[in-house]
Copies of this chain bind each other. A is one copy, B any other.
Amino acid sequence: MKQRIYKLVVILAIFSVFNLGAVRAENGYNLWLRYMPIENGQLRQAYQHQLASIVVCNQSPTINAALKELINGINLMIGKVPNVSSITGNAAIDFKTNRLVLAKLDQPAIAAQFSTVELRQIGQEGYLIKTVRQNRVPQILIAANTDIGLLYGSFHLLKLMQTHQSLQALNIQQWPRLKLRILDHWDNLNGTVERGYAGYSLWNWQTLPGIIQKRYIDYARANASIGINGAVLNNVNASVKSLTKEYLIKTAALAKAFKPYGIKVYLTAKFSAPKELGHLKTADPLDPAVIKWWKDKVAEIYHYIPNFGGFLVKASSEGQPGPGDYGRTHADGANMMAAALKPYGGIVMWRTFVYENKKGADRAKQGYDEFKPLDGKFDENVLLQAKYGPIDFQPREAFNPLFGAMPHTHMMMEFQITQEYFGFATHLVYLGSLFQEYLRKDTYQKGPGTTIAKVLEERVNPGTDDNNRLTGIAGVANIGTDVNWCGHPFGQANWYAFGRFAWNPMASADSIAADWLKMTFTNDPGFVNPIKKLMLGSREVAVNYMTPLGLSHLMKFALHYGPGPWSKSAEVYHHADSVGIGLDRTVTGSDAVSQYAPALASKYSNLKTTPLNLILWFHHIGWDQKIATGETMWNSLVHYYYQGVKQVAAMQQIWQSMKGKIDEDRFNYVTQLLKQQHLEAKWWRNGCVLYFQQYSKRPLPKDCKEPGKAYWNYPTFKPDLPFPYHLDDQ
């Protein structure tokens, strides 16, 4: 009778140890608001002491939301439910027990705790968190001018706990630098999400307005936790149905659900709505009947949705109707809508993503050419929403020259959180690096230091005060009905980072990543430090295996997944020929450089002073030309592609070494995804290198092994994507 213990037992023993409590199964639904139990005994005790009770000084749905979040979060983290009470007057300060106090600054006793400067800075959404002492008893005071400020402050406090920070001697002042911090959902009414890779649209139109899913509330909570205060619910390729009474009623239910969390609802407005819905013969923005139609429609909207935010408009772009159809300008169109919205405090966000695929024309110039002449012509409640680059959300582009060039127009940034050009929901790419890069870009429009952040915050022109400011930033959402909301577990980090940068455009991608990792996975520095590094480098890794050195738009036509430099449509982006590769955007080429401030135009005009990561954006460079890498253009290009693949392999190794530090399910899922990413990085490398080699006709550098597969034979991924996609059958 022999007892054979298989390796199975060892494996199961390990499994058992981990199931003895510490690492429970997680599916990502809770995002960064997991509120995991705090295991450090000292810290837990300190928190228990400090948060034994909560006092609120007023009642409202927003205060209730803050309380619910605090109670739930505190209880989950330290295993004790705080006592909650409500008081008014001076009573807030006299109690002898440790307390967390939420109070508005209209109470003199509360305001007295802060300096005039502090009080002035925080505005309508900011908050102050201070440890105050009365009779030697410390209290944590969260104070703000509004309830929403108190909600934001509550999330900040919870974040401190989630990242295991001390709550002693707090002295925090926080306020957002941009007014409109918005998610653009490219959601279609049929539930599909354009450029969405994380499931269906969150908005279940069929069961609205009657059913408010918990998902909507959790969405609102997640956004409030990072200060996002607006959501455009429908696709920029708009359906007029969104403006019908039936859908306004449904939208109103969402607006009502979001309101306690400080989130306003916006809708995209199709320019042809007066014709399609109103059965007018025209949509000419100067036509009186059209003007009246929009006026009436806006009145109807505000009847159902009193706190409606306004319209987002994609017009005269990619086939969408617009004022240009009637010989009118963008300003004509935007101002007509803005006038209708102004009495209600609504705004218009008008997209500058306008281009024509004219042969020979440089697409990168067209947004500027179209909108620069209109500077100063837009009404005060209009913002232009411009992408960070002049092409279309590429892994790297030169920054959009409109930023800084429109001093008399409200400009807002449009980032893309969904990874349309960055590997969908398969590739690990932390976009915090990208957000930071573009926000800190120096436009030089008023000398050095005129960063895009400063432009967005409207701090460039002295004398601009709050009353004249209308600032904002939008991110195209990567959110859907997938259990983990974003498809890739690390996709959540991009939603999170967008919110953090929207609140403070000069934030640090590094510390944002650290916060997110601690809240989403673990505080263990043995995980946070290496994975933060991995995240920070991941965007550049993708650039390397997709479009290095300033290349852009080599993705498969229409689908935007996988390599496709051989598409006819991609030729205009790489201009590869027997001589070399890259686009001449200097004066000898399209002269796109002239759209930048002179200091930059001159910098970009000279290959030697052009940043290495943009040389092929601005220059057509001979294959044999030596570049700043010390190697020829061809060899450098190939080396970057090969480096990208190696870097993904390195990411895989780093990730593998994290085994056991986090929950099994997400660890395994990311392991699979990285494996797939490595495969696809090779697909990119092989495809692009072999394709460009047809032009360079040069051998690969000696240290680069032959790719092996011809690009056109590589296993294809031709997924059927829901309407309105079509695939290039090459």
Contact = CB atoms under 8 A, between A and B. Distances in A.
Nearest to A721: B190
Contact of A8 (B64, B205, B676): B64
A424 B204 CA distance: 13
Contacts of A425: 207
A165 interface: no
Interface string A1-45: 111111011001001100110000001010000000000000000
A214 B86 contact: no
A448 interface: no
B210 A675 contact: yes
A679 B67 CA distance: 33
Given A241-B720, A716-B246, A723-B723, A9 B210 contact: no
Interface in A200-243: 200, 205-207, 210-215, 239, 241
Contact of A673 (B90, B211, B482): B211
A530 interface: no
Interface string A686-730: 000000000000000000000000000000111111110000000
Contacts of A91: 1-3
Given A6-B59, A27-B29, A676 B190 contact: no
Given A71-B15, A426-B211, A481-B199, A205 B1 contact: no
A327 interface: no
Interface in A65-85: 67-68, 71-72, 75, 81, 84-85
Nearest to A16: B81
Contacts of A8: 56, 59, 64, 67, 84, 86
A669 interface: yes
B679 A210 contact: yes
Interface string A459-495: 0000000000000000000000111000000000000
Given A672-B210, A672-B212, A71 B12 contact: yes
**Most B CB within 10 A of own CB, among A64, A192, A213:** A192
A89 interface: yes
Contacts of A84: 8-9, 12
Contacts of A722: 190-192, 722-723
Given A211-B426, A211-B672, A675-B210, A720 B9 contact: no
Given A5-B85, A86-B6, A672-B211, A71 B481 contact: no
A214 B90 contact: no
Interface string A87-105: 1111100100000000000
Contacts of A3: 85-87, 91
Given A8-B64, A8-B67, A190-B723, 10 more contacts: A2-B91, A3-B86, A3-B87, A15-B71, A188-B720, A199-B199, A207-B676, A211-B426, A211-B673, A481-B481
11 contacts: A1-B94, A6-B59, A8-B64, A8-B86, A19-B75, A190-B721, A191-B720, A205-B720, A211-B426, A211-B676, A481-B482
